[in-house]
């Protein structure tokens, strides 16, 4: 669909029309006993997809097989791992948010395995700013929301001079705007916040970034 829109074959959906249909769907699902647990997923309590929740909760996972992706948070002690056409040289005293993806072609992947190499096609170490955006984006997609305490702890770990006063002001602001609710120091999107999720994420990320430069 994205390619068709880009090519002009079809028109992009109208934002207001999509929002109206989302609200109708949300009401119908709720009336059928299905509750939202992720911005575009509903389920009966206890039947949520644990596999998908793992992605949205930003947990670690190891992908095994041609083209598989792996996701590791706060990895340390990585040094001189030989891979097929790729070498990761990292400071073993530092922590990294590591993302890697395996060789796509099955024969090349098998060759790397048989040669005793890590079969990565490539990798990237996520910087603290991208890790912050990822953390906020994923946390605000799910019903249980984002832990403010955990977010502030991670910000202070990245920058010991982090000042959360601006973040606290923005939390009050987004709640007044009915974009989010704050419960037990977790912020979660309202229905309006789900519809305007990009705006909500932008406000929280900006607040955190401003806290890093405030002295």
Structure confidence at residue 210 (pLDDT): 84
Structure confidence at residue 84 (pLDDT): 39
Domains and CATH numbers, the chain: 1-32 (no CATH), 63-126 (no CATH), 130-212 (1.10.10)
Give the integer Cα–Cα distance in Å for 80 and 215. Answer: 39
Structure confidence at residue 89 (pLDDT): 44
Total-model pTM: 0.78
Structure confidence at residue 83 (pLDDT): 41
Output the CA torsion sign for 200, 202, 205, 206.
negative
Q: Summarize pLDDT for 128-184 with one digit per residue, the tens.
A: 778 888 889 999 999 999 999 988 887 777 666 778 888 999 999 999 999 999 998
CA 7 to chain centre: 29
């Amino acid at each position: 669909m994205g390619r068709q829109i880009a090519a002009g074959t079809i028109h992009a959906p109208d934002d207001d029309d999509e929002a109206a249909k989302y609200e109708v769907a949300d009401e119908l699902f709720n009336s059928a006993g299905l509750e939202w647990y992720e911005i575009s997923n509903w389920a009966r309590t206890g039947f949520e997809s644990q596999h998908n929740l793992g992605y949205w909760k930003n947990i670690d996972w190891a992908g095994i097989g041609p083209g598989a992706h792996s996701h590791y948070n706060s990895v340390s002690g990585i040094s001189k791992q030989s891979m097929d056409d790729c070498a990761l040289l990292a400071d073993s005293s530092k922590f990294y948010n590591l993302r890697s993806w395996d060789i796509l072609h099955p024969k090349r992947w098998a060759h790397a395995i048989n040669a005793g190499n890590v079969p990565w096609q490539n990798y990237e170490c996520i910087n603290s700013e991208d890790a912050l955006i990822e953390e906020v984006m994923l946390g605000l997609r799910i019903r249980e929301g984002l832990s403010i305490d955990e977010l502030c702890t991670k910000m202070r770990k990245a920058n010991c001079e982090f000042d959360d006063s601006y973040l606290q002001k923005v939390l009050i602001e987004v709640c007044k705007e009915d974009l989010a609710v704050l419960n037990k120091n977790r912020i979660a999107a309202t229905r309006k916040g789900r519809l305007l999720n990009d705006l909500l994420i932008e406000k929280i990320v900006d607040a955190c970034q401003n806290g890093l430069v405030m002295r």
